[in-house]
């Protein structure tokens, strides 16, 4: 059985995601779609609107056969590390190919860009350092460096978010010496950051616009852009827990955490750099909301996304030295299985002896510092949930076996 790898967040799973999973199988001739999915906190530092378990169920009901977790250590990171962790897991899972959406839509420019980058990485790093010294943000410095080293070919627009991620996926495959073949398709209809839902004739919308409408108006406003199963899972989650998780829900916890840290202690937190701790401690006393805090913190050098990731690391009290130790090995330390279809289970059964990392089905069966961090992040994610539901939610992290879905009978075999 051939498996195609997908790197996803499914926040939430919408019609575009279903199309992506279908095209991944068709384009690569694969019978299994394996998704590596961020856990409770995402690449931009924000909390997922609903839990990883709810998003896993949405995926399994809509054409994805395996869902494995992208650990926090990779998930809440800049694009290079996010891509490195994702590629490592899909490679260890034995995927033959990796399929991603991009603004470009053709794989050749990504391969050429990755090869060129490999030859000019030293020059790239020099330019990035020079730009950072000027006080610009890391994304702006990286964009300037890319433009400089690729100035003669204009092969790939690396100012576009999905092109950037795709470039890093292909670069990570190359750096790992993986035999996975990269494939891409053009994103359809809505753009990644579109904030408003499209007109009634469209059934494809960006996850950003869907989340915005979901939070402001509820599931009725977004049902036309979701598979039916996704809409039902969202309704069930809200009925159980009474909320969609947003960054604003965590403001009081950020404020509390910062009130317990000295400037010296804060300076040791991952992504708190260059004296930023003093600015943070000064601003947190003024801010009355998460949005206000971010507006006060944001500068030309420090983007909203980087600061949002930093705030999440503050919540988890993730220290630089601890993250550096976790990221030092080149390969992911384990493969945590969140869910599978019957077809996905058959694929795993055939690959189990070939896996180069432990396959984790239950937390009680495995121990690792990266998993400890994952557990901590899960507990923090649950804080806005009211008791006794929060205790129930926390227990699920330890008691939940991988979700199993019978795609023929269209029913879950456990939950």
Digit-coded pLDDT (tens) for 296-328: 999 888 889 999 999 999 999 999 999 999 999
Establish whether 5 is an annotated binding residue.
no
Establish whether 339 is an annotated binding residue.
no
In 3-state terms, the chain is what percent helix, strand and coil (to 5)?
55, 10, 35
Q: Long-range pairs for 146-155 at CB < 8 Å and ≥24 separation?
A: 148/123, 149/116, 149/117, 149/120, 149/123, 149/124, 150/113, 150/116, 153/112, 153/116, 155/109, 155/112, 155/113
292 C-beta neighbours (distance < 10 Å), count: 13
| pTM score of the predicted model | 0.92
* pLDDT (0 to 100) of residue 317: 97
Residues 340 and 238 in one domain: yes
Establish whether 187 is an annotated binding residue.
yes
Residue 77: Cβ-neighbour burial (10 angstroms; 0-12, 13-18, 19+): buried
**In terms of residue numbers, what domain contains 306?**
247-318
Establish whether 13 is an annotated binding residue.
yes
Establish whether 18 is an annotated binding residue.
yes
Establish whether 188 is an annotated binding residue.
yes
Which of 318, 344, 369 marks a domain boundary?
318
Domain membership flag for residue 32: yes
Domain membership flag for residue 155: no
Establish whether 125 is an annotated binding residue.
no
Residues 12 and 95 in one domain: yes
Establish whether 245 is an annotated binding residue.
no
Residues 220 and 336 in one domain: yes
- Which residues of the chain fall short of a pLDDT of 70? 151-155, 188-195, 199-201, 415
Establish whether 302 is an annotated binding residue.
no
Establish whether 9 is an annotated binding residue.
yes
Residues 268 and 405 in one domain: no
Residues 9 and 98 in one domain: yes
* pLDDT (0 to 100) of residue 122: 83
Domain membership flag for residue 180: no
Residues 241 and 251 in one domain: no
Establish whether 14 is an annotated binding residue.
yes
Residues 283 and 252 in one domain: yes
Residues 201 and 278 in one domain: no
Which of 294, 318, 342 marks a domain boundary?
318
Residue 365: Cβ-neighbour burial (10 angstroms; 0-12, 13-18, 19+): exposed
Q: 70: closest CA among 370, 364, 397?
A: 370
Is beta strand 403-406 parallel, antiparallel or unpaired with respect to 32-38? unpaired
Domain membership flag for residue 175: no
Establish whether 19 is an annotated binding residue.
yes
Establish whether 138 is an annotated binding residue.
no
Domain membership flag for residue 52: yes
* pLDDT (0 to 100) of residue 150: 72
CATH number at residue 73: 3.40.50
Residues 339 and 236 in one domain: yes
Domain membership flag for residue 350: yes
Establish whether 117 is an annotated binding residue.
no
Residues 254 and 238 in one domain: no
- State percent of the chain over pLDDT 90: 74
Structure tokens, 294: 């971010």
Domain membership flag for residue 385: yes
- Total tally of structural domains belonging to the chain: 2
Domain membership flag for residue 349: yes
Establish whether 40 is an annotated binding residue.
no
Which of 318, 345, 366 marks a domain boundary?
318
Residues 332 and 393 in one domain: yes
Residues 284 and 211 in one domain: no
Establish whether 163 is an annotated binding residue.
no
């Amino acid at each position: 059985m051939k498996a195609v790898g997908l790197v996803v967040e499914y926040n939430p799973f919408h019609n575009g995601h279903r199309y992506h999973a279908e095209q991944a199988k068709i384009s690569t001739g694969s019978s299994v779609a394996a998704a590596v999915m961020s856990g409770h906190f995402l690449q931009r530092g924000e909390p997922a609107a609903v839990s990883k378990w709810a998003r896993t169920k949405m995926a399994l009901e809509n054409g994805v056969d395996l869902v494995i977790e992208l650990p926090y250590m990779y998930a809440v990171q800049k694009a290079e590390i996010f891509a490195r962790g994702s590629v490592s897991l899909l490679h260890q899972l034995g995927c033959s190919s990796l399929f991603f959406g991009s603004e470009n839509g053709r794989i050749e420019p990504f391969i050429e860009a990755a090869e060129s980058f490999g030859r000019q990485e030293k020059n790239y790093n020099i330019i990035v350092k020079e730009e950072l010294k000027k006080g610009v943000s890391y994304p702006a410095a990286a964009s300037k460096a890319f433009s400089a080293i690729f100035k003669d070919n204009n092969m790939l627009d690396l100012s576009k978010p999905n092109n950037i991620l795709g470039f890093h996926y292909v670069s990570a495959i190359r750096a790992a010496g993986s035999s996975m073949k990269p494939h891409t398709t053009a994103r359809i209809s809505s753009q990644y950051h579109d904030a408003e839902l499209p007109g009634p004739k469209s059934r494809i919308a960006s996850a950003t616009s869907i989340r915005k409408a979901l939070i402001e108006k509820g599931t009725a406003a977004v049902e036309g852009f979701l598979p039916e199963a996704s809409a039902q899972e969202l309704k069930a989650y809200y009925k159980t827990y009474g909320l969609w998780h947003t960054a604003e829900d965590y403001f009081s916890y950020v404020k509390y955490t910062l009130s317990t840290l000295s400037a010296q202690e804060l300076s040791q937190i991952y992504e708190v750099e260059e004296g930023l701790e003093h600015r943070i401690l000064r601003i947190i006393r003024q801010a009355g909301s998460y949005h206000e805090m971010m507006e006060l913190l944001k500068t030309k050098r420090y983007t909203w996304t980087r600061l949002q990731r930093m705030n999440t690391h503050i919540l988890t009290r993730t220290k630089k030295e601890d993250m550096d130790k976790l990221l030092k090995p080149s390969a992911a330390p384990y493969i945590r299985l969140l869910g599978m279809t019957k077809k996905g289970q058959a694929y795993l059964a055939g690959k189990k002896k070939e896996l180069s990392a432990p396959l984790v089905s239950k937390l009680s069966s495995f121990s690792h510092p990266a998993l400890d961090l994952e557990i901590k992040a899960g507990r923090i994610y649950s804080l806005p949930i009211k008791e006794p539901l929060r205790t129930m939610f926390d227990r699920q992290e330890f008691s939940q076996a991988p979700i199993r879905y019978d795609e023929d009978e269209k029913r879950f075999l456990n939950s």
